[in-house]
Amino acid sequence: MNISESTALVTGANRGLGLSLVRLLREAGCKKIYAAARQPAELGAGVEYPVLLDITNPEQVTAAAAQCHDVDLLINNAGIAKFTPLLAALSTDNARAEMETNYFGTMAMCRAFAPVLKRNGGGALVNVLSVVSWFNAPMQGSYCASKSAEWSLTKAARFELRSQGTRVIGVHAGYIDTDMTAALTLAKTSPDDIARRILAGIERGDEEILADERAQALRAELLGDYGPFEAAMQQTWDRSRPSH
């Protein structure tokens, strides 16, 4: 996919990785960039196409799909992390909030924009996941569960949307140096570096982007080659659909 010829929508664009993605898309010559946030006033100067969007709000998701009718590159970056354990937390409130945003909110965006992408030639749908999609760190157990669910959602969308020409891409990274991880004293990668690797992967046509060294190392350590299995699953899905 050629970034300079695309019309993009980035969710969670007011800070961190989303902010970097918008800026680097602009530097790459992206034809048109919609920047979405729950508070568009936080997007700052220079954003030509702001979008009011809380991805957990069905009405706002529907309105965004209508407003951004020309999008052929959707980057689902919006997400939350509460950094609480699963069972030791005082309540299930954080787990519900993470699942509502990271899983159900992303699903709502995929469902709303799948027909938009189809009308515009297929394009690409990018879900920003995490290395904890692959394992559970119990200190943030509910967040890991939501990201694992989002990874599975990404694969399901890939199976379903391949026939319309939409490339579905999952991005995996470790800790990114953003407001979300400000309290953590661990090795982090700059959001600009992650954004550059995401855009490079989109242009290469990757379906899985390992956006930092931690993602690359953990992918090799934890997961084998599941490509043949997923190819067989794609065939199973394709055979289940009515022929046209």
> Annotated active-site positions, please?
143
CA 227 to chain centroid: 21
- Encode pLDDT of 87-145 as tens digits: 999 999 999 999 999 999 999 999 999 999 999 999 999 999 999 999 999 999 999 99
Report which of residues 229 and 150 the model is more confident about: 150
- Encode pLDDT of 176-189 as tens digits: 987 666 566 667 78
Distance CA 241, CA 56 (A): 30
Residue 222 tokens read as: 């934890």
Looking from the CA of 15 toward its CB, the CA atoms found within 13 Å total 13
Q: For 33-49, what is the mean pLDDT?
A: 92
Q: What is the pLDDT of residue 37?
A: 97
Q: What is the pLDDT of residue 225?
A: 86
- Encode pLDDT of 207-238 as tens digits: 999 999 999 999 999 988 888 889 999 999 99
Distance CA 17, CA 190 (A): 9
Closest C-alpha among 88, 208, 92, 80 to residue 146: 80
Distance CA 215, CA 102 (A): 19
- CA 102-156-191 angle, to 5 degrees, is 40
Q: What percentage of the chain exceeds 70 in pLDDT? A: 95
How far apart, in Å, are the Cα atoms of 231 and each of 215, 237, 240?
Answer: 23, 10, 14
Question: Does residue 13 have a pLDDT over 80?
Answer: yes
Residue 57 tokens read as: 């709000």
Question: Does residue 175 have a pLDDT over 80?
Answer: yes
Q: What is the pLDDT of residue 88?
A: 95
Structural domain including 157 reads: 3-240
Question: Does residue 78 have a pLDDT over 70?
Answer: yes
> Where residue 225 sits, what CATH number does that domain have?
3.40.50.720
For residue 26, name the pLDDT band (cuts at 50, 70, 90). very high
Tally the domains of the chain. Answer: 1
Q: For 43-72, what is the mean pLDDT?
A: 95
Cβ count near 25 (within 10 Å): 26
